[in-house]
């Protein structure tokens, strides 16, 4: 495969999100090249107001890729899509896909796709969001048919701030929650770095560990028939763990 012929993945992210691009790129390389477009900066708006605007502006942001020939687009912003129910989320992404000519999925739809493929129904929701957005998240998953067995809030210090949660923050708070060793955990939100924490949280147990970015990468690879295997034919660690759970390639 030449660089010119490698599949191209478009990723849409909020302006301050530092985690989505490196995590998704790590999971999809070398099978895909990653290209990004950012939502506009909206000074003076509350988080809720920004999320509403993101949904309104999403078609234009994706259109901003212009003539770049993409194979798929992932919207790496879970929060804005929790404002929609799953049906509204799918309708928005399908409408944009018809206009753009390539598959489009939000990170939330990509997560549902993974849960369906792996037959997952009972979920422990690990959320770095403010309580109102965590509640919207739980409602979204429940409307989609998932059973949220419990919610584990994760703080950065004393506040809720996904972009500022450290590996130690995440490992410590999940550990303190006393989660069963065979539970399915969904770490929601694309802006929280998770890879190093997942290695520690998943060590020595049989947990299924899902994140918004892992599911987004998995969806992109699935819908473009790209193969992410690295040297020796191995998948990147988080995808390999899911593949092992499924008993088949991720």
pLDDT digits (tens, 9 = 90+) for 136-165: 999 999 999 999 999 999 999 889 999 999
Which two tokens mark 133? 């957005």
Whole-prediction pTM: 0.92
- The three-state secondary structure class of 152 is strand
Per-residue pLDDT at 250 exceeds 50: no
Query: Span 11-26, mean pLDDT?
Result: 95
| Chain mean pLDDT for the chain | 90
Residue 7's nearest CA partner among 103, 72, 100 is 72
Inform me whether the pLDDT recorded for 97 exceeds 90. yes
Q: What is the predicted pLDDT for the residue at 1? A: 53
Confirm if 198 and 224 have CB atoms less than 8 A apart.
Answer: no
> In the block, which residue shows the tokens 């990468």?
217
Rounded Cα distance, 202 and 209, in Å: 7
CB-based contacts of 67: which residues, under 8 Å, 6+ apart? none
Please, which residues bridge with residue 37 across strands?
12
Here the tokens at position 190 are: 């694309």
Best CA proximity match to 27, nearest among 227, 233, 244: 227
């Amino acid at each position: 495969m030449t660089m010119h012929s490698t599949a191209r993945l478009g990723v849409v992210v909020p302006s301050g999100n530092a985690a989505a691009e490196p995590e998704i790129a790590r999971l999809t390389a070398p099978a895909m090249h990653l290209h990004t477009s950012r939502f506009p900066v909206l000074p003076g708006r509350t988080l809720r107001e920004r999320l509403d605007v993101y949904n309104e502006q999403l078609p234009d942001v994706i259109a901003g890729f212009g003539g770049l020939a993409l194979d798929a687009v992932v919207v790496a912003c879970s929060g804005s899509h929790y404002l929609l129910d799953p049906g509204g989320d799918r309708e928005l992404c399908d409408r944009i896909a018809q206009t753009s000519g390539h598959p489009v999925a939000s990170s939330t739809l990509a997560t549902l796709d993974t849960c369906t493929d792996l037959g997952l129904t009972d979920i422990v929701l690990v959320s770095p969001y403010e309580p109102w957005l965590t509640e919207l998240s739980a409602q979204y998953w429940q409307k989609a048919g998932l059973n949220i067995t419990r919610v584990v809030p994760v703080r950065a210090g004393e506040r809720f701030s996904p972009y500022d949660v450290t590996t130690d923050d995440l490992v410590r708070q999940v550990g303190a929650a006393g989660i069963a060793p065979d539970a399915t955990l969904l770490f929601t939100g694309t802006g929280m770095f998770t890879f190093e924490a997942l290695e520690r949280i998943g060590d020595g147990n049989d947990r299924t560990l899902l994140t918004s970015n892992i599911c987004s990468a998995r969806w992109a690879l699935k819908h473009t028939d790209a193969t992410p295997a690295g040297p020796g034919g191995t998948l990147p660690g988080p995808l390999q763990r899911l593949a092992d759970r499924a008993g088949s390639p991720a």
